[in-house]
Amino acid sequence: MATQVIVLAAIAAACIPAASALASARWPQRSPAIAILLWQALGLGWGLAAVGALAGIGVAGTSNGSTGSENGVAGAVASAAAGLAGRLAGGRHWHAAGGPLEGVRLAALAAGLLLFGLLCWILVAASAGVLRARRRQRALLTLLAHGDPKVPGALVVDHPAAAAYCVPGLRSAIVVSAGTLALLDQAELAAVLAHERAHIRARHDLVLLPFTALLRAFRWSAVARAAHSAVALLVEMLADDRARRRLPARELATALLRVGAAGGGHAPSGALAATGDGEVAARVARLLRPVPRLPLPAVVAIVAGAIAVAGVPAAVLAFSF
């Protein structure tokens, strides 16, 4: 039991510097899809390992760990949780009953359960928030937006600011402001639409959702912030790549520059300083001077690493308790 807890704790601890390193690495823009896979594996591996390590410490403190081996993880955690509840009910007999070491174990179990609950809750809360915001968007678009032959399949909102975005979901929509229509030429508009269609078709919003949830829960954490903006940028690069397959990269690049530059006049710099510093510039540079994709051996190594990061904690949890 002790070995497994140490392994899980080590993995959970190692995920943090690994995420920081990945956020500042240069190679992800060469193969965004592979990098996103690694980000997902890091997130999943960290969650499993952190919850597992804390719960493992807690479980080790009750029944000599023997009930756990018969009933699996759930049984072990449940019996330990019952112990925890009993101790809490016991109130002032806490120290008398188990000693300080027992207290530490139960605190670890409580922290593990709390973390597990928190991770589940933030995902549900973030999804609900996203769905609510999208419903509001769709309702407003039904009232305000109209079609335009210059952007077939997209909705136009009469506003002078330059904005182009999509509302993903089952009833998806691509929205372009009148300002954008005036700003871009026909080829650039086609590139914007192709980019947004790529987002909608590949459901990039679902890729980003867990990282947004993590950011909401750990707003103070530099790693959570770095992870979110790194994945957000990689998703944009994926959509750029998809759009570039059918349309010239140059139009997409100039469209990005025009929309990005026009948006700057309205943005309060303080509120947005944290998001996407140099993001547009990075995407433009990548479109105009394509970087070679990662060689196959590197891809294989990264995928193997991703499988290990998420798979080892999952295997330890499934087989050891």
Partner 1 sequence: MDVLWESAEPITVRQVSLRLTERDLAHTTVMTVLDRLAKKGFARRERDGRAWRYRAAESREAYVTELMLTALDQTGDRQAALARFARSVTDSEASALRRALDALGEGTGS
Where on the chain is the footprint of partner 1 (CB under 8 A)? 126, 129-130, 133-134, 137, 139-141, 143-144, 157-159, 161, 163-168, 175, 177, 192, 195-196, 199, 204-205, 208-209, 212, 215, 235, 239, 253-269, 271-273, 275-281, 284, 288
Among residues 206 and 301, whose Cβ is nearest to partner 1? Answer: 206
Contact 59, 76 (CB under 8 A): yes
Taking the complex as a whole, the smallest distance from the CB of residue 239 to partner 1 amounts, in Å, to 8
Taking the complex as a whole, the smallest distance from the CB of residue 186 to partner 1 amounts, in Å, to 16
Taking the complex as a whole, the smallest distance from the CB of residue 148 to partner 1 amounts, in Å, to 16
Taking the complex as a whole, the smallest distance from the CB of residue 11 to partner 1 amounts, in Å, to 27
Taking the complex as a whole, the smallest distance from the CB of residue 42 to partner 1 amounts, in Å, to 18
Contact 200, 168 (CB under 8 A): yes
Locate 245 and state its tokens: 């397959």
Contact 187, 251 (CB under 8 A): yes
Among residues 196 and 241, whose Cβ is nearest to partner 1? Answer: 196
Among residues 62 and 212, whose Cβ is nearest to partner 1? Answer: 212
Residue type at 161 in one-letter notation: A
Give the whole-angstrom CA distance, residue 86 versus residue 144. 59
Q: How far is CA 145 from CA 48, 141, 150, 178, 193, in A?
A: 44, 5, 14, 10, 16
Give the whole-angstrom CA distance, residue 246 versus residue 191. 9
Q: Select from 27, 16, 40, 88 the least CA-distant residue to 306.
A: 40
The C-alpha angle with vertex 220 and arms to 223 and 104, in degrees rounded to 5, equals: 90
Among residues 87 and 195, whose Cβ is nearest to partner 1? Answer: 195
Taking the complex as a whole, the smallest distance from the CB of residue 207 to partner 1 amounts, in Å, to 9
CA torsion sign, 127 to 129 to 131 to 134? negative
Among residues 128 and 304, whose Cβ is nearest to partner 1? Answer: 128
Among residues 268 and 297, whose Cβ is nearest to partner 1? Answer: 268
